[in-house]
């Protein structure tokens, strides 16, 4: 997909993140990515997190020099005081402009059960892209409790991607359950379906939905074959003050027409364009007092939704691009929010509906990460999850010692090739982080020690001659040594300066690599972004980290064969 960084057009593998774009941008200008990543903004001036997902045509701007002030409150005390003094940013009636209303100090919610004051309000706290950051849940719980003491009818919603990003959750025996358990305990009302919700597989996701005390909504997914999921397109929640609040769920699709998850996870489902599905639910505005799109399509797509949808939506609560909306973003009269990722922030949103049914909305970004307080029961739950032996779980047995990073590099390449179903896998030596693994049980922790980076597995279609170009580029980019391989063997003759003079490559059947044949080649996302080599296909992420790929492979193998003395790559002078 095409992404612009500071006016430089880059072609990235589909499924690339903001960090991938930075890697590619710096590699192109011959510089190394700084240890401390620069601050990146989107075209609307919002900060985007390095792990934010990108969509075709996104623009990024690096403005590390510019200091930014965040408007997030330092403490909930400040938060609560200022929550009462909200400004107004958009109204249903004046759809193309928004004006600031006078502060309304009487706006604290009336006690539950008292209906029909001339002006009623709905208060929402939203988070998105939690990515299993369970360690921030105790702080989230404390903030939510504090808000509920002021707004007893507070709605708590997630804009998708609750899953994936923390082995304690992702590798839990009941994959992904810790996050759901914690969301139940904190009292979530609703979640959009994010692309990473599918990472637990159709059966796994179905199981998690059945365990959740809240609903998942998504209007552009259907089907599910043997595993139909209990997902509604929308949900209308009636508040004790009588307000009907409608939420419509929307999910992003990648260039291949499916959400960004491993294709096996979404095989049985039918997906439709979120922007095409949304207008079909416009009638919801007549069945509710407030109509909210709870989306997981990325900020730039949310802007498109606001600009193309016929009038009716009052608010868009978004996710997926990990955008930190810290000032009000109003497009076509519609407020759009998003709160970074991994529970660093949440957004407090207040909607007021006057006697004539006019809706006005306002938002405030709340800093969760720096909260000093926690809810003790939730802390205890998180500690229990962190304490459990997930990472010590034995997934396979090594039948022999591994005594070099080369032997382990071949194992990693074999795992990636199998997980991707590719002809060839290539692994950079710099990505192999241990050089010994004793014979005996192999744990999940061993895999994360071997491969701690969280790079994704990418498959590219490359001709033989493009593979040669890749092998040459990798030589200088990675320690002046050959890539570890699976599916091919290489012999590199180097000159006196240590540069490759001639590379010969054979496939596993002993034939020379065919320059014109197209091979499927698996490698990690770092390699696809950093190596400068000739290739037509930018590749496709499998939305699986290389560590997860290896865990799956080892579980399947059970007994790991001996790699002692294995020699797939040779260097001669």
The residue among 138 and 259 lying less far from Zn ion, judged by its C-beta, is: 259
Residue with tokens 């009941």: 174
The residue among 197 and 414 lying less far from Zn ion, judged by its C-beta, is: 197
Q: How far is the CB of 393 from Zn ion (least distance, A)?
A: 27
CA separation for the pair 101, 121 (Å, rounded): 15
Q: Which two tokens stand for residue 363?
A: 């938002």
CA separation for the pair 25, 529 (Å, rounded): 9
Residue 42 engages Zn ion in binding (rule: CB under 5 A) = no
Residue nearest to Zn ion (CB): 320
The residue among 271 and 519 lying less far from Zn ion, judged by its C-beta, is: 271
Tell me the per-residue interface mask from 44 to 73 with Zn ion, x by CB under 5 A, - otherwise: ---------x--------------------
CA separation for the pair 443, 250 (Å, rounded): 38
CA separation for the pair 266, 263 (Å, rounded): 6
Q: Is 374 within 8 Å of 537 (Cβ atoms)?
A: no
Residue with tokens 């199981």: 207
Residue 320 engages Zn ion in binding (rule: CB under 5 A) = yes
3-state secondary structure of 481: coil
Q: Among the candidate windows 5-13, 21-29, 313-321, 377-385, which touches Zn ion by CB under 5 A?
A: 313-321
The residue among 341 and 405 lying less far from Zn ion, judged by its C-beta, is: 341
Q: How far is the CB of 319 from Zn ion (least distance, A)?
A: 6
Tell me the per-residue interface mask from 209 to 248 with Zn ion, x by CB under 5 A, - otherwise: ----------------------------------------
Residue with tokens 């998850």: 261
Q: Find the binding residues for Zn ion in span 175-214 (CB under 5 A).
A: 194-195
Q: How far is the CB of 55 from Zn ion (least distance, A)?
A: 10
The residue among 129 and 407 lying less far from Zn ion, judged by its C-beta, is: 129
Q: How far is the CB of 320 from Zn ion (least distance, A)?
A: 4
Q: Is 125 within 8 Å of 154 (Cβ atoms)?
A: yes
The residue among 136 and 162 lying less far from Zn ion, judged by its C-beta, is: 162
CB contact burial 479-504 (16+ within 10 A = b; e otherwise) = eebbbbbbbbbbebebeeeeebeebe
Residue 161 engages Zn ion in binding (rule: CB under 5 A) = yes
The residue among 89 and 162 lying less far from Zn ion, judged by its C-beta, is: 162
CA separation for the pair 416, 522 (Å, rounded): 6
Q: Sheet containing 315-317: which strands, arranged edge to edge? A: 234-238, 244-251, 290-296, 315-317, 334-337, 329-331
- Phi then psi for residue 423, to 5 deg, are -70, -35
Q: How far is the CB of 8 from Zn ion (least distance, A)?
A: 25
Q: How far is the CB of 253 from Zn ion (least distance, A)?
A: 11
Residue 500 DSSP code: E
Q: Which two tokens stand for residue 484?
A: 């570890």
The residue among 161 and 326 lying less far from Zn ion, judged by its C-beta, is: 161
CA separation for the pair 278, 297 (Å, rounded): 12
Q: How far is the CB of 501 from Zn ion (least distance, A)?
A: 45
What is the size of the binding site for Zn ion (CB under 5 A)?
5
Site of interaction with Zn ion (CB under 5 A): 53, 161, 194-195, 320
């Amino acid at each position: 997909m095409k992404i612009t960084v500071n006016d430089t057009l880059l072609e990235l593998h589909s499924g690339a993140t903001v960090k991938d774009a930075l890697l590619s941008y710096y590699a192109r200008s011959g510089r190394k990515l700084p240890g401390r990543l620069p601050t990146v903004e989107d075209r609307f001036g919002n900060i985007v997190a390095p792990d934010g997902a990108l969509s075709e045509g996104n623009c990024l701007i690096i403005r590390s020099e510019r200091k930014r002030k965040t408007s997030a409150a330092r403490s909930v005390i400040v938060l609560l005081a200022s929550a009462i003094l909200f400004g107004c940013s958009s109204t249903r009636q004046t759809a193309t402009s928004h004006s600031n209303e006078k502060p309304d100090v009487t706006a604290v919610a009336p006690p539950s059960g008292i209906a029909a004051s001339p002006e009623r309000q709905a208060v929402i706290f939203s988070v998105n892209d939690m990515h299993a950051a369970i360690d921030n849940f105790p702080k989230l719980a404390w903030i939510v409790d504090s808000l509920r003491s002021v707004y007893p009818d507070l709605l708590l919603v997630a804009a998708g991607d609750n899953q994936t990003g923390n082995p304690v959750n992702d590798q839990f025996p009941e994959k992904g359950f810790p996050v759901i358990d914690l969301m139940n305990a904190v009292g979530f009302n609703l979640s959009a379906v994010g692309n990473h919700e599918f990472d637990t597989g159709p059966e796994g996701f179905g199981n998690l939905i059945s365990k959740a005390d809240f609903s998942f909504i998504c209007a552009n997914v259907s089907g599910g074959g043997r595993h139909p999921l209990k997902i509604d397109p929308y949900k209308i929640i009636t508040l004790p003050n009588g307000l009907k609040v409608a939420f419509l769920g929307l999910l992003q699709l990648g260039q291949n027409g499916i959400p960004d998850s491993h294709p096996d996870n979404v095989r049985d489902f039918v997906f439709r364009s979120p922007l095409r599905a949304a207008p079909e639910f416009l009638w919801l505005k007549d069945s509710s007092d407030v109509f909210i799109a709870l989306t997981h399509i990325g900020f730039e797509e949310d802007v498109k939704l606001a600009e193309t949808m016929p009038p009716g939506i009052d608010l868009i609560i978004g996710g997926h691009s990990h955008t930190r909306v810290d000032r009000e973003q109003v497009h076509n009269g519609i407020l759009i929010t998003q709160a970074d990722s991994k529970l660093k922030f949440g957004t407090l949103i207040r909607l007021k509906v006057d006697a004539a049914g006019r809706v006005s909305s306002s938002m405030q970004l709340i800093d969760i990460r720096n909260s000093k307080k926690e809810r003790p029961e939730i802390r205890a739950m998180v500690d229990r999850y962190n304490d459990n032996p997930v990472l010590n779980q034995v997934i396979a047995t090594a039948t022999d010692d591994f005594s070099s990073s080369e032997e382990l590099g071949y194992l990693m390449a074999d795992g990636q090739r199998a997980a991707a179903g590719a002809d060839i896998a290539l692994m950079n030596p710099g990505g192999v982080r241990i050089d010994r693994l004793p014979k005996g049980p192999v744990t999940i922790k061993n895999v994360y020690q071997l491969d701690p980076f969280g790079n994704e597995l990418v498959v590219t279609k490359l001709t033989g001659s493009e593979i040669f170009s890749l092998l040459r580029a990798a030589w200088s980019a990675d320690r002046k040594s050959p890539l570890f391989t699976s599916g091919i063997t290489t012999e590199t003759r180097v000159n006196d300066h240590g540069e490759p003079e001639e590379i010969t490559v054979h496939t596993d059947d002993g034939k020379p690599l065919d320059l014109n044949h197209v091979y499927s080649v698996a490698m990690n996302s770092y390699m696809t972004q950093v190596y400068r080599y000739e290739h037509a296909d930018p590749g496709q992420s499998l939305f699986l980290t290389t560590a997860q790929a290896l865990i799956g492979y080892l579980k399947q193998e059970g007994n790991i064969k001996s790699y002692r003395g294995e020699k797939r790559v040779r260097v001669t002078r």
